[in-house]
Structure 1
Amino acid sequence: MAARSNAPAVAARVVLYVVLCTAAALILLPFAWMVISSLKTNNQVFTAPVQWVPDPVRWANYLDIWARSDMATWLKNTAFLAVTVTFLQVLTGSFAAYGFAKMRFPGRDVLFLVYIGTIAVPWQSYFIPQFQMISGWGLNNTFWAIILLQAFGAFGVFLMKQYYESIPDSLCEAARIDGLSEYGIWWRIMVPLSVPAIASLTLITFVNTWNDYLGPLIYLRDRELWTIQIGLKSFIGQYNAEYALIMTGSVLSVLPIAIIFLLGQRYFVEGIATTGVKG
């Protein structure tokens, strides 16, 4: 009888796994096609039906892309901006979130709501005065324009605050009684306990900065300052018939993000799952 009663649950789980595996395959299919196309010749990329096994396999595409473009410069610039912006957003976001979550001061909740409300304001509605401000400071066409504009993020403050609220206030109160300053409580207690949330914010910020196209397009005009997204757009315009090389460049632009996600996947899932759970 027990076996019969468990049969519907087992069948439902099997169906769920099949659905999830099918959905995962459909999501990964375009990426797989891009990787396979990067190993083909130009004539083989858009053949019908799709040739899933390249014949011959052209590993030379991954050498040609470096010789025919400034891929090294694009990747270096993008990595510099992504790492710098991510570090600053995690630093400022976690520190501000500690103030909103664990400190008491007049107008705290109102200030937090106003700050978080900026998430709903489209960037297109204020990028012109923002551009004028950066130009007035003489920072246009420099990396500082991107760094200063993206060093602070309301989403990061919201994410970290929700996680900090799951940490008992008694830990902070005990630390204050022992004479630890607010800076010390944040650095020695809150930060070590919020590694999953920090990993989630790091991954989200890094991906957004790495994939940012409009920001660098507006502020970075010199070719030696271009990021991977602007560089690939220029490469496509110059070699619009070199489909295999375009796919190769696309793979190289996605590969760092895929590696970072795989390395931090466990912390990312844990951070998202526990954000907003009060302790």
Structure 2
Amino acid sequence: MSTSDVYDVAERVVKVVAAPYRIGEPQLEVETSCGIALCHDGDTDLKTIVKRADIALYAAKAAGRNTFRLYHKHMSASTEHNARLEPQIRRLVHDNHLQVCFQPQISLKDGLRGFEALLLWPDGTTVESMTVDEFVHVAEQSTLIEQVGEFVLGTVCAQMAEWMDLLTELNLSIAINVSMRELANPLFAGKVIRIVDAHDIDPQRIKIEISESTIPLDQARMLNVLAEFQAHGFRLSLDDFGTGYSSLLHLQKIALDELKIDQTSSASWVSTRRTTRLSARSSRWRSRLASI
């Protein structure tokens, strides 16, 4: 079979699987990604072929899904590294090794203002050393991010139910970070709302935190998801402000409750005409938020 024949088969597989279908009333759509590795004249053992196909599969996922990639030796070392991390992250999720901790948010003026939910895994787990950013990036390339998100939300809601009297008395909230893939899902807000309602949690005690540096390409869909959260009473927080200037016009359509300026960006802003305009814009945003 030639390389062009392989491409033809992969294209047909992706097209057939991606076609919408119905089970009962709702119409369902399935995303698929294919990783391909070729073996010529038996010059490569089976284990190596499978490993190469897995690396190509990860590259296809990173390219946006509903596509395929053929392995080649120039694929980056980072792609291979991330491909190795995915099964290890799956094991962390499957074995219930993930933990949620609550980092206090302190105001120099008012003291304790709330908490931010952070995802951790204990020392001693049999996984490679990886950062939280690597974890999230790899999880977003698969359905793992949805399982992780549900775990974090469920854990936060259970803890909030125990702390509700304290949270109400001190007017505290808990921030939950949401990922790019979750924001791109039009059903995401509804799922979160159902889980929060099931725990009898006041949505005003939860801050949905998004990062400006990871805003999805489909910003219109993201705005609809955020508007649904806001209509239900959730608070909205924007992290890493200053790392994605092109998105500001879109985000001005949402009344944010909190703005967290990226430290690197604020340190690098100097008195040029462009950065002065950006600084002035951020000042107006801070003034607007202060009046909420």
TM-score (norm 1): 0.23
Structure in which a larger fraction of residues adopt strand: 2
TM-score (norm 2): 0.22
Structure in which a larger fraction of residues adopt helix: 1
Which of the pair has the greater relative contact order for Cα pairs under 8 Å at 6+ separation? 1
Rg larger in 1 or in 2?
A: 1
